[in-house]
Amino acid sequence: MNDAQIIDGKAIAADLTDKLAVRTKVFVAKTGNAPCLAVVLVGDDPASAVYVRNKGKTAEKVGFKSIQKILPADTPEDKLIKIINDFNNDDGINGILVQLPLPDHIDEGKIIDLIAPEKDVDGFHPINVGRLGAGDFVNALIPCTPAGSVILAKSALGDNLSGMNAVIIGRSNIVGKPVAQLLLKENCTVTIAHSRTKDLPDVVRSADIVVAAVGRPEMIKGDWIKSGATVIDVGINRVDAPEKGDGKTKLVGDVNFGEASQVAGAITPVPGGVGPMTIALLMENTFTAACRQHGLSIA
Ligand code: NAD
């Protein structure tokens, strides 16, 4: 029996944004402009609306200019394309994010391909995906959730992850695959597990670092975790919480936190783990994009 260190993503994210606010003041003094993040939301999905609002609030908190374009669900694809082209051509906008998912009548891939790679602060454009794959960290913009996950792992393990066994559960383009690239860069031995992986519990038991990005509530059990491992739970799942009252819900991760925290060395909670890091890294990416566009070093 062991009590894992709880990795406080909220505090680590707040520390990052506090430091970024100071760096932003220097940027403004040098350029006369604040970095500007433009976020586009199509439709009225309540969760997406909350994410977009929080992105705007955090941008303003660190001293950025924030533009939010909220469009109705039936917005024609052509109209969205024009808005992105306008943002691409506007030198006053440094970062562009289109909140996903988009309504079915809009081709998500086409929209992502359209965002200027140097303004693609989500890091989803094929050019940025390719740069990450090729290890070009000088020019790439790195997806926010994966970057935040690695920072949290390092907060528990220190900066040197070399030689550690990392098992990532989930192979999505937005989480699993980029986390794998980042951990390879850190010289981890990386395994990507997924829905067809055989003997998943055994694979996970080999991990010094577990990154769970599946989208299945509490799927990863305590007895899958090696004693002392570091567990980064990316999953965000809303489940019924009758103990809180009729019709109430709560958020849980992909890892059974109660069980895993008895075995792990360190573990992220849900909420309050990876989630807050995603927004903080979005701000970092916007700052990075703005510095590159102004030819400034990213101090
Ligand atoms: P996704 O649905 O695109 O990918 C899920 C992956 O899990 C797939 O690769 C699939 O092969 C794998 N998988 C599914 N069932 C499995 C099983 N039984 N065993 C092993 N692997 C299985 O999801 P995603 O976009 O990568 O998101 C994953 C989770 O992370 C979701 O809960 C999502 O809400 C959350 N998320 C959180 C943040 C954040 O900011 N914290 C950001 C992005 C995603």
Helix (H, G, I), strand (E, B) or coil at 216: coil
Q: What is the mean pLDDT of residues 129-154?
A: 97
Q: Quickly count: other Cβ atoms within 10 Å of residue 138's Cβ.
A: 8
Residue nearest to atom 18 of ligand 1 (CA): 195
Q: What is the mean pLDDT of residues 62-84?
A: 98
Asked if 218 and 225 touch (Cβ cutoff 8 Å), the reply is no
Q: Which domains does the chain show, CATH number per domain?
A: 31-116 (3.40.50.10860), 144-275 (3.40.50.720)
Cα 175 to middle of ligand 1, angstroms: 7
CA distance 141 to 192: 22
Instruction: Tell me what pLDDT residue 1 has.
Output: 55
Percent of the chain with pLDDT over 70: 99
DSSP for 100-168, written as a single string: SSPPTTS-HHHHHHHS-GGGBTT--SHHHHHHHHHT-TTT----HHHHHHHHHHHHHH-S--TT-EEEE
CA distance 216 to 237: 7
pLDDT, tens digit, for every residue of 218-264? Answer: 999 999 999 999 999 999 999 999 999 999 999 999 999 999 999 99
Helix (H, G, I), strand (E, B) or coil at 39: strand
How deeply is 193 buried, as exposed, middle or buried, from its count of CB atoms within 10 A (0-12, 13-18, 19+)?
buried
Q: 245: which residues sit within 8 A by CB, 6+ positions away?
A: none
Structure confidence at residue 299 as a pLDDT band (50, 70, 90): confident
Residue nearest to atom 17 of ligand 1 (CA): 195
Pairing of strands 5-6, 266-267: parallel
Cα 174 to middle of ligand 1, angstroms: 9
Q: What is the mean pLDDT of the chain?
A: 97
| Closest to 225 measured CA to CA, from 165, 296, 143, 272 | 165
pLDDT, tens digit, for every residue of 29-69? Answer: 999 999 999 999 999 999 999 999 999 999 999 999 999 99
CA distance 41 to 172: 22
Residues contacting ligand 1 via CB (< 6 Å) = 145, 169-172, 174-176, 193-195, 197, 200, 213-216, 234-237, 274-275, 278
Percent of the chain with pLDDT over 90: 98
Is the pTM higher than 0.85? The answer reads yes
Report, as residue numbers or ranges, the catalytic residues. 55, 99, 122
Structure confidence at residue 298 as a pLDDT band (50, 70, 90): confident
Cα 261 to middle of ligand 1, angstroms: 21
pLDDT, tens digit, for every residue of 170-214? Answer: 999 999 999 999 999 999 999 999 999 999 999 999 999 999 999
